[in-house]
């Protein structure tokens, strides 16, 4: 059974005290998390040691990094490598978030290197893909997302691809006032799984968790997560509110 995941992406938000207080509040609100479920908090790197200490003893709860450098070490001032995160206790790293692609020019080729770096130290890449508004309006979203997957992931072996979590981000539905329906989410998630199946076979494709990253909220989480190919969410703004993210976690199947 593939994992059902509620992943929080705190982005560049919160002071150290605010981050500590929010995580304390969220952890206190958690009921039992089933073994097929995971809760992941992707926090600013500077808060990772603190966050790791706070989740000690919490089953199926993890801390993730929001990005990493593709090289293991070197003269890259200000960067943090995947093996550095792993040595600190981090087991999940978000790769290729739409904001990294847009604001920092990250390409599929670069992201393939980052995925390799994360897998090399036995950690889990949370690989983001998704189309902007112009692509959605042109009706070419399937081909666009398929190209992202092929270019960044299809060099992996079958064993490696099962270690990857995929997060689909409908960029056109984030902060634009437009809304993706649960049917639209299911449609693209099913297509992503079919693309994975075409390369690796249906058995492998069925093992890969695919998260929805398009403005998941308490109000729509149950409907979204009830879709057969939606295995949870990568949550932005709502993950900064205890009541919202708790309800999202509780919506996991």
CATH number of domain containing 167 = 3.20.20.70
Portion of the chain with pLDDT greater than 70, in percent: 99
Query: In sequence order, what are the residues at sequence separation of 6 or more whose Cβ sits closer than 8 angstroms to the Cβ of residue 107?
Result: 101
Per-residue pLDDT tens digits for 177-228: 677 899 999 999 999 999 999 999 999 999 999 999 988 999 999 999 999 9
Q: What is the pLDDT of residue 2?
A: 94
Q: What is the pLDDT of residue 173?
A: 84
What stretch of H or E contains 124? strand 124-129
Q: What is the pLDDT of residue 177?
A: 67
Q: Say which of 97, 99, 106, 189 is annotated catalytic.
A: 97
Query: In sequence order, what are the residues at sequence separation of 6 or more whose Cβ sits closer than 8 angstroms to the Cβ of residue 181?
Result: none
Exposed, middle or buried, 197 (CB in 10 Å: 0-12/13-18/19+)? middle
Query: Apex CA 161: angle with CA 159 and CA 166, to 5°?
Result: 150
Q: What is the pLDDT of residue 114?
A: 98
Q: What is the pLDDT of residue 32?
A: 81
User: Could you tell me the pLDDT band of residue 104, with boundaries at 50, 70 and 90?
Assistant: very high
Tell me the whole-structure pTM to 2 decimals: 0.97
Catalytic residue flag (residue 169)? yes
User: Could you tell me the pLDDT band of residue 131, with boundaries at 50, 70 and 90?
Assistant: very high
Q: Say which of 99, 106, 131, 169 is annotated catalytic.
A: 169
Exposed, middle or buried, 108 (CB in 10 Å: 0-12/13-18/19+)? middle
Q: Average of pLDDT values for 49-63?
A: 97
User: Could you tell me the pLDDT band of residue 175, with boundaries at 50, 70 and 90?
Assistant: confident
Per-residue pLDDT tens digits for 132-154: 999 999 999 999 999 999 999 99
Q: What six digits make up the tokens of 209? A: 């968790």
- Domain hosting residue 33, numbered range: 4-250
Sign of CA dihedral 246, 213, 253, 222: positive
pLDDT at 232 over 70: yes
pLDDT at 89 over 80: yes
How many Å separate Cα 78 from the centre of its chain? 23
Catalytic residue flag (residue 97)? yes
**Which residue bears the tokens 């398929």?**
146
In the chain, how many domains are there?
Answer: 1
Q: What six digits make up the tokens of 111? A: 């992201």
What stretch of H or E contains 149? helix 141-153
pLDDT at 252 over 90: yes
Q: 233 in helix, strand or coil? A: strand
pLDDT at 116 over 80: yes
Mean pLDDT of the chain: 96
Q: What is the pLDDT of residue 178?
A: 72
Q: What is the pLDDT of residue 174?
A: 82
How many Å separate Cα 197 from the centre of its chain? 20
């Amino acid at each position: 059974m593939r994992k059902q995941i509620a992943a929080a992406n705190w982005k560049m938000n919160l002071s150290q005290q605010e981050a500590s207080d929010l995580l304390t509040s969220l952890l206190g609100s958690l009921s039992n998390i089933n073994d097929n479920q995971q809760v992941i908090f992707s926090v600013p790197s500077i808060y990772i040691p603190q966050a790791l200490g706070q989740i000690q003893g919490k089953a199926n709860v993890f801390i993730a990094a929001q990005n990493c450098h593709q090289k293991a070490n070197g003269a890259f001032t200000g960067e943090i490598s995947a093996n550095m995160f792993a040595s600190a206790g981090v087991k999940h790293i978000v790769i290729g978030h739409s904001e990294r692609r847009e604001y920092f020019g990250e390409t599929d080729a670069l992201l393939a290197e980052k995925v390799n770096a994360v897998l090399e130290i036995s950690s889990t890449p949370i690989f983001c893909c998704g189309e902007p508004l112009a692509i959605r309006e042109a009706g070419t979203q399937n081909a666009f997302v398929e190209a992202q997957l092929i270019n960044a992931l299809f060099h992996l072996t079958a064993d490696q691809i099962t270690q990857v979590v995929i997060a689909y981000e409908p960029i056109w539905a984030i902060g634009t006032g437009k809304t993706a329906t649960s049917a639209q989410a299911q449609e693209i998630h099913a297509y992503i799984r079919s693309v994975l199946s075409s390369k690796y076979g249906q058995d492998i494709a069925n093992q890969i968790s695919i998260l929805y990253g398009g403005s998941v909220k308490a109000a729509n989480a149950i409907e979204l997560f009830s879709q057969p190919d939606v295995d949870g969410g990568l949550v932005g703004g709502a993950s900064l509110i205890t009541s919202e993210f708790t309800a999202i976690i509780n919506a996991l199947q």
